[in-house]
Amino acid sequence: AGSLSVRVGVASRALAGGPVSGDRAVIARTSGAVLLGAVDGLGHGAPAADAAARAVALLEDQMEQPIDKLLELCHEALRHTRGAAITLARVEPEAARLTWGGVGNVAAVVVSQHGVRPTHALVAPGVVGFRLPATLVTSVELGSGDLIAIATDGLEPRFVDEVSTAGGVPVQEVADGLLERFAKLGDDALILVARCERAT
């Protein structure tokens, strides 16, 4: 069987004319897991970027914690900031399993190479730092060639229909292409794309 390897690409940009983006990616690895995510600081500019940066630093430091606990820790850390929308996905390469959940409007999807309908993360309404609802953490089995995409609401929701699992395209190119095609003009935008491949 063998474990899955996880390759990650991230594409982002600040809203037109904006000096700094409030959208940040999370990529943290340990021997047994990879934590992926996207953080969308509320609003734009420096206050949004500050909230996002605080969350990312905490998530990277505490990545061993369960996803619902990570969201609680971020909630405490962001109380005196703008707050943020956060969706997280933990990949366990040995078990070929993904555990995910989020609060706010950061979308996450797994697109299978086998033509199965995409699987979406259950994201609860709320704002991390202001109102933290009960988090719906669920698990998905991963197959070789599956793609995970996590995107802030700066991308049009229909990007999901265009996530290609074509094996020959590097994940960074996939992320760049989706950002180019689906980023909205009036918002920061970020998309993280990860491909899971069976180690041979």
User: Which helix (H) or strand (E) is 148 found in, with range?
Assistant: strand 147-151
Domains present along the chain, CATH in parentheses: 4-198 (3.60.40.10)
- Which residue shows structure tokens 């760049």? 176
| pLDDT tens-place string over residues 51-95 | 999 999 999 999 999 999 999 999 999 999 999 999 999 999 999
User: Residue 167 — very low, low, confident or very high, per pLDDT cuts 50/70/90?
Assistant: low
Q: In b/e form, how buried is each residue of 69-84, taking b as 16+ CB within 10 angstroms?
A: ebbebbbebbeebbbb
- Which residue shows structure tokens 């190119």? 173
Mean pLDDT of all residues in 157-169: 81
Rounded to 10 degrees, what is the CA torsion of 104, 18, 80, 26?
A: 50
Contacts of the segment 13-19: beta carbons below 8 A, 24+ positions apart: 13/179, 13/183, 13/188, 13/189, 14/44, 14/188, 15/44, 15/154, 15/185, 15/186, 15/187, 15/188, 15/189, 16/185, 16/186, 18/44, 18/45, 18/188, 19/45, 19/46
Average pLDDT over all residues of the chain: 92
Q: What are phi and psi of 69, to 5 degrees?
A: -65, -40
| 1-15, 37-51, 68-82: segment of lowest average pLDDT | 1-15
The pTM of this model reads: 0.95
